[in-house]
Chains A and B, each alone.
Chain A
Amino acid sequence: MAANLSNQAQVQGGAGVTEPGISHNEHTHHDEHHEQGFLSKYVFSTDHKTIAKQFLITGMLWAIIGGTLSSLFRLQLGWPESTFEWLQPVLGKWIEAGKLNPEFYLALVTMHGTIMVFFVLTAGLSGTFSNFLIPLQIGARDMASGFMNMLSYWFFFISSVIMFVSLFIETGPAAAGWTIYPPLSALPQAIPGSGAGMTLWLVSMALFIVSQLLGGVNYITTVINLRTQGMSMSKLPLTIWAFFLTAILGLLAFPVLFSAALLLIFDRSFGTSFFLSDIYIAGQALPNTGGSPILFQHLFWFLGHPEVYIVIMPAMGMVSEILATNSRKPIFGYRAMIGSLIGISLLSFVVWAHHMFVTGMNPFLGSVFMFLTLIIAVPSAVKTFNWLATLWRGNIRFTSAMLFSIGFVSLFIAGGLTGIVLGNAALDIQMHNTYFVVAHFHLVMGSSAFFGLFAGVYHWFPKMFGRHLDEKLGYIHFWLTFLGVYLVFLPMHYVGIAGFPRRYYAWTGFDTFSQFANLNKFISVAAILAFFAQFVFVFNFFYSIFRGRRASENPWNSTTLEWTTPVVPGHGNWPGAIPAVHRWPYDYSKPGAAEDFIPQNVPYSQTQSSNLPYEKEME
């Protein structure tokens, strides 16, 4: 409330209202008040834009690492009979007599999953864009708590360092799959990867969760309290709605993973039996009785399922925004879009056990979760149709961001549809843990979230660095990636339908699975090429920061508030007063308007010619 008051005061009179306890809105020109040193400007910065860039670049580094790991295990899957002596200098003892060590193969898939899901698509995607866009699009000088925001990044950084270190320890990184199911993850005698590697994994993940919670509390508080004058919740851009709901999901779900990790640490180190019972391993019977490994799975997936929506929802929000902007058309069904986001958020908490249909839990639970899981297809379908309706009779500009957004819709459809097969418990009996699952989630939350991320970077790069990314390279990047993704994951469905299990080091032991030699080679080639195509983007990114075409203040003729700032907004975002908001964010191609877009801060009194009947009464 107080923050709102001070905001309004600024809207009316510019700077100078000093509310005790509201520090970050006091100045319009922070830079004039205190000189920032290098450290406070670029390293321990409390400015949301700098923090966003830190998240983005850290996420990119992780994505390169995660992609490298996947290339390594795709080599193994494509050519399980070959020798990889040439990798010896890089992998050292993990190559035994030219063969990849099977333990290390499992460590690769584990770390690939962990890195991509948490470090790239959670921290790198929502960390980047929630930080960058929330204050800019709601009209705030910065986040509610800049210091907490800084902590959020540095906790992530420490967590990253620990996870990175775990790749190099003697017994190897964690190797129990990214879902770290006990007893495999709980017993160091089960696999080498459950030793120090798993300990570091858990410590890193605990710090990561702290980072997410600090960030999430901040996003929620900022959206609720720091909206500029006139920016009601029903005038928020869909991006902000998506970030807001994502933060709520994270806030409610991540602590559950924290508790699971904590109990697992107890089981590993202090002799408790939360997840252990009746185990005979490595030549001895353990004293643990009464625990249940399935309990861990419930706790894990209670985060794990909202987590996939934490990954995809920011991408949905950004794609909605970019599709509307580049179709020069309002997003179709704005309220339905918000409603479906809320619906997806609520439902995401009640579908977790669809990952566990065949774990031996009560079949009645399976029925309930099948019902709830297939309901979630409805809001997803609504979103998809609304995106299509947004394109219909538009005036579409194919910027790189637009291409990636259209690609996102395509991948989301392809991946989402196969989820309907997996959500059906009777069919999941055959499909569970096969490559069909791998293909499904790589399309629907892996690749499509990546496409959302790319779309966002191409679209908001001018606001971040004041220059454009190169469009030609953007096109090349898009087509290589789009084709690459389909060439990798469509055949994977086929392999999965035939029952090929995931996390298999080689398919040579089974007659049933060895018919896919050529297909696996094909997938491997496509995957490695698609991975290398990403370096087009990496080059484009770093080259354009210094050499890109200079951008104007509002290069895409967009309506939202971030484009009312200077080309590169300084500390505090707006040099003068924060603009007040009068209209919803999607007034594109309004009949009777002079331009084909009307920014949110233009009052209705200035657009008499295009006002709709009910809008005439608003002024």
Chain B
Amino acid sequence: MNPPIASVHGHATERMFWTTMIILGIVFALTHILLFVYSYKYQHKEGRRAFFFPHNNKIEIIWTLIPAIVMAGLVFAGWKEWSRIMGPAPKDAVVLEVMGKQFNWLVRYPGRDQKLGVVNYRLIDATNEFGFDLSDQSGLDDFVAPEIHVPKGHPVLLRIRSRDVLHAVYMPHFRVQMYAVPGMPTKFWFTPTKTTDEMRAQTGNPKFNYELACNQICGRGHFAMKLNIVVDEPDDYVAWFSQQKSFSEQNPDILASFKQKTNKLASKAAAIPAAAVVPAANASL
């Protein structure tokens, strides 16, 4: 049945899901009982006439209103929950970026400054898979990770991108799903409630891992775009976070090439005679 829940909003949607299912179950059972009972009871008999009953406005109104009222209740409950889930993430949320590509996921953390650096898809190559633009200061401490680590009990904001076709970030245990759209960053925030170890104990499966799956058809490897998610105790998360090496540190040659570019630009700017700048300065006054 439903995968065990590991996020705060998951509990709310789970309750709503089963409430809805119970209502549906009752309706399904009632209508089917009627369908089969009527079919059995009113079988053709020689000499009997069916009851001429073309319409009855009162009955019609009753069974228009009842579904309408039930639906109104469901809409209201759903709308409240939906607005809460889709609302702005708390300011102190842990931010990380997940980028889909054919056929795996790439993860980027903002580093100590909690700011994701600028990336540009035109800079992507075999080593610079994210397209880091290292002339931007806030990107210098960003690091990439082979799997997602998030702290338990702390809101997490996923920033989601794709660099080729549509993908969808799907984490069944956290009740999280959001498309990864090329050219249009999306986001989803949630609060994990159980660490991986706790879930292993609960499910009795020592190999249990939270999994991120792709849920939008993207080609040959669609069914195997798996990424592990590790929910740590906050202390463990901090320890893990501090051990990570930033992308610029690991790829000094890329950093150097950006430095060269910036220096070139700076020297070009310096070469322009000051007199040429004056009219512009005047104009801005």
Chain A interface (Cβ within 8 Å of chain B)?
A: 102-103, 106, 175-177, 181-184, 187, 190-191, 276-281, 285, 289-294, 327-336, 358-360, 363, 366-367, 370-371, 374-375, 377-378, 381-382, 384-386, 388-389, 391-398, 406, 409-410, 413-414, 417-418, 420-421, 424-427, 429-430, 432-434, 494, 497-499, 501, 503-507, 509-513, 586, 588-591, 596
Contact = CB atoms under 8 A, between A and B. Distances in A.
Given A363-B83, A370-B79, A393 B16 contact: no
B124 A285 contact: yes
A279 B121 CA distance: 7
B209 A511 contact: yes
B2 A497 contact: yes
B164 A280 contact: yes
Nearest to A403: B39
A424 B78 contact: yes
Contacts of B75: 370-371, 374, 424
Contacts of A181: 166, 216-217
Q: How large is the interface on B (under 10, 10 to 19, 20 to 34, 35 or more residues)?
A: 35 or more
B5 to A, nearest CB: 10
Contact of A409 (B35, B51, B175): B35
A280 B163 contact: yes
Contacts of B281: none
B24 interface: yes
Contacts of A363: 82-83, 86-87
A278 B177 contact: no
Contacts of A329: 50-53
B31 A384 contact: yes
B177 A277 contact: no
Given A335-B55, A393-B51, A377 B181 contact: no
Given A388-B35, A413-B31, A432 B215 contact: yes
Contact of A378 (B53, B68, B205): B68
Contacts of A292: 181, 183-184
B93 interface: no
Contacts of B217: 106, 176-177, 181, 184, 503
Nearest to A177: B217
B259 interface: no
Contact of B211 (A391, A426, A512): A512
Contacts of A410: 32, 35
B254 interface: no
Given A335-B55, A336-B60, A391 B182 contact: no
Contact of B24 (A191, A417, A507): A417
B102 interface: yes
Contacts of B102: 190, 281
Contacts of B187: 360
B221 interface: yes
Contacts of A430: 13, 17, 172, 175, 177
16 contacts: A103-B219, A292-B181, A328-B44, A333-B56, A336-B64, A371-B79, A392-B38, A392-B51, A398-B39, A410-B35, A417-B24, A424-B75, A426-B12, A426-B78, A429-B85, A498-B1
Contacts of A384: 31
B226 to A, nearest CB: 6
A-B interface, 3 closest residue pairs, ranked by CB to CB distance from nearest? A277-B183, A360-B186, A499-B172
A184 B173 contact: no
B268 interface: no
B258 interface: no
B28 A187 contact: no
Contact of B168 (A281, A327, A358): A358
B148 to A, nearest CB: 15
B225 to A, nearest CB: 9
B3 A381 contact: no
Contact of A394 (B50, B54, B211, B222): B50
Contact of A366 (B51, B68, B86, B160): B86
Contacts of B43: 396, 398
Contact of A280 (B24, B34, B121, B184): B121
A395 B67 contact: no
B238 interface: no
Given A184-B165, A389-B53, A426-B82, A358 B223 contact: no
Contacts of B179: 358-360
A572 B266 CA distance: 86
A183 to B, nearest CB: 5
Contact of A184 (B67, B85, B219): B219
B178 A358 contact: yes
A291 B24 contact: no
A391 B42 contact: yes
A504 B223 contact: yes
A424 B15 CA distance: 13
Contacts of A512: 3, 172-173, 211, 213
A187 B165 contact: yes
A511 B207 contact: yes
B75 to A, nearest CB: 5
Nearest to B175: A430
B153 interface: no
A414 B25 CA distance: 9
Contacts of A294: 181, 184
Contacts of A507: 223
A420 B70 CA distance: 11
A98 B181 CA distance: 35
Contacts of B74: 374, 420, 424
A234 B215 CA distance: 48
A106 B222 CA distance: 10
B182 A277 contact: yes
Given A393-B53, A396-B42, A429-B175, A501 B215 contact: yes
A499 B79 contact: no
Which of B12, B170, B179 lies at the interface centre, i.e. has the most chain A CB atoms within 10 A of its CB?
A: B179
B51 A374 contact: no
A284 to B, nearest CB: 9
B91 interface: no
B240 interface: no
B54 A330 contact: yes
Contacts of B182: 183, 276-279, 293
Contacts of B64: 336, 378, 381-382
Given A358-B168, A511-B205, 7 more contacts: A183-B165, A292-B184, A334-B54, A394-B42, A396-B44, A429-B177, A505-B222
B53 A332 contact: yes
A593 to B, nearest CB: 9
B230 interface: no
Contacts of B45: 395
Interface string B9-49: 00011001100110010011001101100110011110011
A276 B162 CA distance: 12
Contacts of B67: 377-378, 381-382
Interface string B111-136: 00000000001101000000100000
B44 to A, nearest CB: 5
Nearest to B86: A363
Contacts of A360: 160, 178-179, 181, 184, 186-187
B59 A389 contact: yes
A602 to B, nearest CB: 16
A103 B220 contact: yes
Contact of B20 (A366, A424, A510): A424
Contacts of B255: none
